[in-house]
Amino acid sequence: MVVFLSACAQFKSGNVTATIESRIATANEQSRQFPVNEWREIRQVFHEGNTILGRAGTVRDNLSRPVAVAASAGVLYIVDADRHELIRYDSITGEGRAITDLSRIAGGEISDIYLYNNEFLLLADPQGQQVLKVDLQGRLMQVLDAPSNLIAPISISVDLRRHEILVADGSYDDIVVFTLDGEPIATLGERGMENGQFRTMTALAWSDQGLYVAMRTGGRVQVIDANDQFERRLDTEGMIFPSAIVFDRKGRAYISDLMSNNIRVYDGDEQIAVLGGTGVAPGRFQRITDMWIDQGILYVVDSLNGRIQSHRTLD
């Protein structure tokens, strides 16, 4: 009997090992579509300061601690937390310039940025307990708040079917829904660990396939359907701190892990690639705080390395 159980255990272990090895091989094959030499980086921007001669003027300098990014048609909007700046960067000309002093309008460090239809930007301001709506020149247009429901906005997305703004609250553990005009109209979810409940939310992103909601507790990612009901959970075993979610043109989800410094790619429920890892070389990261996809290009905020890295997506 002992021999039988031992053999059975070995047989099962062999199957599990083979399955794991197969998944790793598949992920590695897909990851080869992101060759290291094709990663590009954005580091330098312009800002107002003193030139070499000590005169006031425009100075070229590096990003300090970028934390969030959004983009459209090759124009990036970058939040630099150390500089307290919203920066507009043109990837074609390679020129970037601060357009807003965030210390004048925000209550603290911005945690997320969302670009809506190339019309305006939404900035999550947790310490200010508000969402800032600014135009593409960086001018404040409106402050979105909901004192009874919004205390720590940490991530923003927009439901493009309903044309509603979705804001994850990291304190109340629910999602506050606003109209595009900034009126709060509903909340989704509640605190808890059951399906359809949220705890320590870190990121959310809307797509045609549903609303993806990431949580630090358990490294979970849930998918909420078009009727605002729980649909499924992704297999995120081993994920510690999901920090950002974006989708490519084929609907594949890219989910970053703040702690392991990698990006997992999902096609539906199947994980098909793992990118990155910790380091300073191209394609390596130190603290991924945000991502965005624009025109087939994946932009990754490599915060502690002081740069934005980019690469074409799988499609």
Q: What is the pLDDT of residues 215-236, one digit of tens each?
A: 998 889 999 999 999 999 999 9
pLDDT for 58: 67
78 by Cβ neighbours in 10 Å (0-12 / 13-18 / 19+) ranks as buried
For residue 274, pLDDT over 50 is answered with yes
Domain annotation covers residue 212:
yes
Quote the mean pLDDT of the chain.
Answer: 89
Domain CATH code at residue 107? 2.120.10.30
Query: How large a percentage of the chain has pLDDT more than 70?
Result: 85
pLDDT for 112: 99
Q: What is the pLDDT of residues 138-168, one digit of tens each?
A: 999 999 999 889 999 999 999 999 999 999 9
Structure tokens at 15: 């199957």
For residue 16, pLDDT over 50 is answered with no
pTM here is 0.87
Domain annotation covers residue 64:
yes
Instruction: Report the domain count for the chain.
Output: 1
Domain annotation covers residue 89:
yes
Structure tokens at 300: 């990754």
Range of the domain at 241: 60-312
Domain annotation covers residue 268:
yes
DSSP string, 208-235: TTEEEEEESGGG-EEEE-TTS-EEEE--
